[in-house]
Structure 1
Amino acid sequence: MKVLFIGGTGLISQAVSRLAVERGIELYLFNRGERSSFVPQGAQVIQGDIRDKEKAAGALKDYEFDAVVDWIAFTPEHVQTDIDLFTGKTKQYIYISSASAYQKPQRNYLITEETPLVNPYWQYSRDKIASEELLLEAYQNSGFPVTIVRPSHTYGDTAIPAALTSWSNPWSLVERIRKGQPLVIHGDGTSLWTLTHNSDFAKGFVGLLGHPEAIGEAIHITSDEVLNWNQIYAAIGEAAGREPKVVHISTDFIAANTPPGTADGLIGDQGVSSVFDNSKIKRLVPDFEAAVPFAEGVKRSVAWFEAHPECCTVDQEWSKMLDGLIAKHGVDAKLLTYYV
């Protein structure tokens, strides 16, 4: 197959790019060339910016693909650009949506692809829902060959996943653990969550490329391992080599005492128990299996950062925000004795 990834070097897509090349796919990446270290050997890079529609059209005008995947489309405007660019030029267009688009809180603890899409708490999720609607309308009206994929919380070597964390400087979490500084877990830490290693996600995703039964369908791809947040933070601490100190604070209190937008993803996604039924991806891709437990995956992540000390940067503003939140909650961090 001849496949185009728009992006292709991000947290999730880098693992998919590697596996696609390993499986003999002729892979092209269309991006700005800013993360060349994550381009797998054998992939071809077409340099450009998908946000500049005219220039993107010029760079891609001589190409046709069996499948096109946009890893960086977040809004209906982004999706409309793709519809305009790739109508008649690909046999399959895969949109990367988000499992955060599912109803919050959902009516049933087990999430399937039939779970309603509604999220009044997070604009990111509402934009994904609107993008899905636009694409399905194009499929129904003109046959635009869309497949929708909904990842949940997916991580890899370059991420240390948590809830209230610094997304731009994930090593900050390990730094606080090793210094004995407290972390914050929302609620009592017993809500359920699903974390998926990007290498596992890749196995399911690559199996959907060129799959005729995936056209017009929405599919989520997640691990079957379900942990509560206390277990997740305990695993991060084990990987960091020190038992983490934690403070349990209600989600409402976190939202009320952090900068606007800080807790949107917590209220609209991570603060709600999420358990997924993966029957659909297993039916479409029978060899899909999520084989990396979180305890192992997060150890890989910590080891990767230790091997790349230039990436072990600390977000001081985030750390100050955390300390301020704990202080407002009436906890003296110096006397803290709560452990996961």
Structure 2
Amino acid sequence: MRILIIGGTGLISTAITRQLLEKGADVTLFNRGKTPPRFPKGAKFLYGDRRDYTTFVQQMREAETFDCVIEMIGYVREDAQSLVQAFAGRTAQVIFCSTVDVYQRPASRYPYREDEPLRGLSDYARNKIVCEQVLNEAHERGDFAVTILRPAHTYGEGGTLIHSFGWSTTYIDRLRKGKPIVVHGDGQSLWVSCHVDDVARAFVNAIGNSRAFGRAYHVTGEEWMTWNQYHQKVAQAIGAPEPTLVHIPTDLLAKVAPERAGICAVNFQFNNIFDNSAAHADLGFQYTIPFVEGVKRTVAWLDEQHAIANSDEDTLEDRVIEAWQKLSEGMERELGV
């Protein structure tokens, strides 16, 4: 089976590529060729700019035909439209990497199921919804079969760990040094994380799988953790002391640090727990790597790459904590507490 991965060197797509090569699949990657691959030799490459739509469509139409195309870097309407133009009638299946962020928040019920209304709060989510709609319309026309996979937070070797201030690795350094960690709200909203190897396996199992045609699936973590527990488990995994957690109201945190903590307002403050039963049934999805074990592996990889930044050189979190403590003390004095 000939498989094209659009992307191929990112976190999830690297794991997909590696697993396919291990199975002996015929794999071609389309990307700019700027990111060194982290998988064994064996893949073929097509180089180009995904956002140069006219050239992309022409290049794909001149390439060999593929049994399955996996779109890993489709983010806006034009990405989906050019995908349809390039592969309508020229591939049997398109697998699209979407996101659980497409759902309304809060959910109408928990855990989320795939039929929850698609009313994402962020521009990223709304654009993914549009991409799904364009591809589903192509599926209905018979251009090709479409399978949509919706990961939640995915981590692992090649990536990092998320936190209330985003993705910076100073978070790990802060934990190791025993510095306080900012947590949005009261830290009680629920969160899931899934190691990339488990997520990638679902993509691989969706290829050529007729049960997955015209369907969307969650491929998410299955350890439901509060954010407080999340930080405690990360500290446990890396041998850091029990973290001191500083809780700051989400709306305030997003206002004072919008570029770093804005995601808390549109995502982290809500419960993020998902029903994976459809992926279990149709894709053989399994959650096999416990979070603590996955964190150990991820941080070990970051250490090997010397990729953990020095938190002493990033003072934002300390300044936010100091300002919050002064505000809290002032309120206590004002109210005579």
1:100 Cα offset (Å): 0.9
Matched, 1:283 2:278: no
Deviations 1:68-87 (A, max 9, x none): 01111111111111111111
Query: 1:117 & 1:222 partners in 2: Cα distance?
Result: 17
Query: 1:191 & 1:143 partners in 2: Cα distance?
Result: 41
Q: In structure 2, do the counterparts of structure 1 residues 18 and 254 end up closer, same or farther at CA, with 3 Å as the change threshold?
A: same
Aligned letter for 2:187? Answer: G
1:142 Cα offset (Å): 4.3
Deviations 1:7-57 (A, max 9, x none): 111111111111111122111111111222324321112122211233334
1:97 Cα offset (Å): 0.8
1:187 Cα offset (Å): 1.6
1:166 Cα offset (Å): 4.2
Q: In structure 2, do the counterparts of structure 1 residues 39 and 46 end up closer, same or farther at CA, with 3 Å as the change threshold?
A: farther
Q: Which ranges in structure 1 are unaligned for 5 or more consecutive residues? A: 333-340
Residue in structure 1 matched with residue 137 of structure 2 by the alignment: 137
Matched, 1:75 2:91: no
RMSD, aligned α-carbons: 1.9
1:180 Cα offset (Å): 2.7
Residue in structure 2 matched with residue 248 of structure 1 by the alignment: 247
Residue in structure 1 matched with residue 320 of structure 2 by the alignment: 325
Residue in structure 1 matched with residue 292 of structure 2 by the alignment: 295
Deviations 1:196-222 (A, max 9, x none): 000011121110011112121111111
Query: 2:253 & 2:145 partners in 1: Cα distance?
Result: 42
Matched, 1:27 2:27: yes
Farther off after superposition, 18-27 or 293-302: 18-27
Query: 1:238 & 1:44 partners in 2: Cα distance?
Result: 41
1:164 Cα offset (Å): 1.6
Query: 1:127 & 1:226 partners in 2: Cα distance?
Result: 27
Query: 1:245 & 1:304 partners in 2: Cα distance?
Result: 25
When normalised by structure 1's length, the TM-score is 0.90
Percent identity (aligned)? 37
Query: 1:270 & 1:211 partners in 2: Cα distance?
Result: 33
Residue in structure 1 matched with residue 309 of structure 2 by the alignment: 313
Residue in structure 2 matched with residue 112 of structure 1 by the alignment: 113
Task: Report how many aligned residue pairs link the two structures.
Answer: 325
Alignment of 1:18-97 (within 5 A): 18-60=18-60, 61-97=62-98
Residue in structure 2 matched with residue 232 of structure 1 by the alignment: 230
Aligned letter for 2:233? Answer: A
When normalised by structure 2's length, the TM-score is 0.90
Aligned letter for 1:176? Answer: R
Contact 1:163 1:266 in 2 (8 A): no
1:58 Cα offset (Å): 4.3
